Amino acid sequence: MLRAPRRRRAAVLPLLLLLVACLTLSCAPGESSGGQTPTATPRPQASATATANPYTTPTPPPSHSNVIAQENAQPGSAGWIIPSGELATTEIQAYASATSVVPGDTLTFYVSTPQAGTPYTVEVYRLGWYGGVGGRLLYSTSATGQAQGYYDYTTSALVGCASCLVDASTGLVEARWQPSLKLAIPEDWVTGVYYAKFTEKSGKQTYVQFDVRGAPNTAYLVVTSDNTYEAYNEWGGYSLYLGPNGGRGAKVSFDRPNSGPGLSQGLPYEIDAIRWMEQQSYDVSYMSSVDLNNAGLDLLTHRAIIDLGHDEYWSLQMRNNYNLARDAGLGVAFLGGNDAYWQIRYEADSQGTPDRTIVCYKLAFTDPFYGQNNALLTITWRDPLIGHPENALMGIMYSSWSQSIGFPWRLDAGASSPLLAGTGLVPGTSYGCDYVGYEWDRVYDNGATPPGLHVLGSSPVTNHDGMSDTSNTAYYVAPSGALVFAAGSIYWSYALDNFRLISGNNCVGQNRAEPGMQRLMANVMEALLTPHPQGW
């Protein structure tokens, strides 16, 4: 199904008001036009200091000593937060050359200000716990703006972007700006989610996310939902939900700034889980959706995979790689909802860089692959033309949504599982205020549910049409012995930490972590690493 209301929701989702990351650059100012692109020379930032922790979170066991623990022992900085009212619109816009890097790589930033010569600063932060302040500033720099064009959301118009490629037939928009600065990733930058924050002279701020990948043998591999950020990104007037005259795009590019509704699909639904995992010092490394697409057998050097947030758009290779990991005995946990709903394909950008374009037609007969290679059609995974419903992997799958409304999470009245040990959670009891929303999953009787599915959560919800529904949290053990856990809600990780970037508007003043659900998640983390008999 098309879920037509999704385009309307994308247009009204709250903009992200806070930002994250942990590094800083030091480089020569960018050229206003032409010239050699400066390369950042990172220098230690001595002014990054810890501040009082306003987000105290109960600490569930266990804690592991590793590079994540060492990193989070460093002083944090609250400077990653963009205060309300300071989020840039037209004042400064930026994007990066890649969704992820490894130490030793060079990452290129493309930045534009309406007037050439406008001074701006760049700060790069790493997300984590850091005593509760949530980020660490590593390096910073100043630069001079280039006027390369911008997108004005108030008029839905591209302004002054002579370099822009706009294909109205597919909705593909590429900024194709000139490089503004290049950052050589230091060898000592720890794997994680990073945010480069750009501040224009008036104080308006924007940011660019990228991941730093880590060691190939960490216990847990954490995957960010970059495809979904880009699917909702409206820069240039097109997204996979928005287009002129009520239409929508079929192709979207990473080669453009991400703002508008795209911002609200990433960090708000991932940060609580990131903060909690790093507070507990789990042995994690991070990668993006694009990395997962290309990982293959490299996944098998880890012991478990954690899928974060709203991971709605998957390529066939992404799905194959999750199946590969599960069938090889790696535990898999999906900490969001509405995962793997649409199949996508990756294409190169207009400059030939692989995997910079996401293709998703959403209607089979409009996809050029229709009737030629139906296995790669960019439609829902549950569509009979593909025939791989999400629950065949996750145990549950998408049901419905309710805009900006959160609901309590309820432990199923008949729940009984080793995962509940030490949690104090009582069957039939509801917890929290906003742990279920804004989209949720449930059990389906479609013949694809894995045998031995255990339902942990059965939460009453009301969808956008006022209809009653249920959100389920569930798990099963695959024949390989791997545990597969599915939280069943985009908001579910709110139970892990008191921090909120976006919350159900019926929960103001009631946002808090739930110690019993933190312990449940700690039990899941341990169980992901251990083979279990089916029916466990």
Secondary structure (DSSP) of 72-87? HTSPP-GGG---TT-B
Is 518 inside any structural domain? no
Query: Among 150-154, 161-165, 516-520, which stretch is predicted with the lowest mean pLDDT?
Result: 150-154
Question: Who contacts 288 (Cβ-Cβ below 8 Å, separation ≥6)?
Answer: 99, 100, 210, 211, 223, 224, 226
Q: How confident is the model at residue 174, as a pLDDT?
A: 98
Is 37 inside any structural domain? yes
The pLDDT tens digits of the residues spanning 458-473 come to 999 999 999 999 999 9
Q: Which residue has better confidence, 282 or 25?
A: 282
The pLDDT tens digits of the residues spanning 430-455 come to 999 999 999 999 999 999 999 999 99
Structure tokens at 104: 């030793």
Q: Does 43 have pLDDT greater than 60?
A: no
Q: What average pLDDT does the segment 89-110 reach?
A: 97
pLDDT band at 244 (very low <50, low <70, confident <90, very high): confident
Exposed, middle or buried by CB within 10 Å (0-12, 13-18, 19+), for 297?
exposed
The pLDDT tens digits of the residues spanning 137-161 come to 998 999 999 999 999 988 999 999 9
The pLDDT tens digits of the residues spanning 478-495 come to 999 999 999 999 999 999
Is 394 inside any structural domain? no
% of the chain at pLDDT higher than 70: 85
Q: What average pLDDT does the segment 264-275 reach?
A: 89
Q: Using CA atoms, how far apart are residues 256 and 235, in angstroms rounded to an integer?
A: 7
Question: Who contacts 531 (Cβ-Cβ below 8 Å, separation ≥6)?
Answer: 329, 480, 481, 482
Question: Who contacts 36 (Cβ-Cβ below 8 Å, separation ≥6)?
Answer: none
Q: How many helices (DSSP H) and strands (DSSP E) are in the chain?
A: 8, 29
Helix (H), strand (E) at residue 289: helix 289-295
The pLDDT tens digits of the residues spanning 526-535 come to 999 999 998 8
Say if CB 331 and CB 527 are below 8 A apart: yes
Q: Does 251 have pLDDT greater than 50?
A: yes
CATH no. for residue 38? Answer: 2.60.40.1930
% of the chain at pLDDT higher than 90: 78
Q: Does 61 have pLDDT greater than 70?
A: no
Is 177 inside any structural domain? yes
Pick from 339, 149, 155: which is nearest to 256 by CA? 149
pLDDT band at 509 (very low <50, low <70, confident <90, very high): low
Q: Does 49 have pLDDT greater than 50?
A: no
Is 81 inside any structural domain? yes
Number of domains in the chain: 1
This prediction has a pTM of 0.89
Is 76 inside any structural domain? yes
Q: Using CA atoms, how far apart are residues 33 and 295, in angstroms rounded to an integer?
A: 38
Is 203 inside any structural domain? yes
Q: Which domain holds residue 69?
A: 14-214
Is 61 inside any structural domain? yes
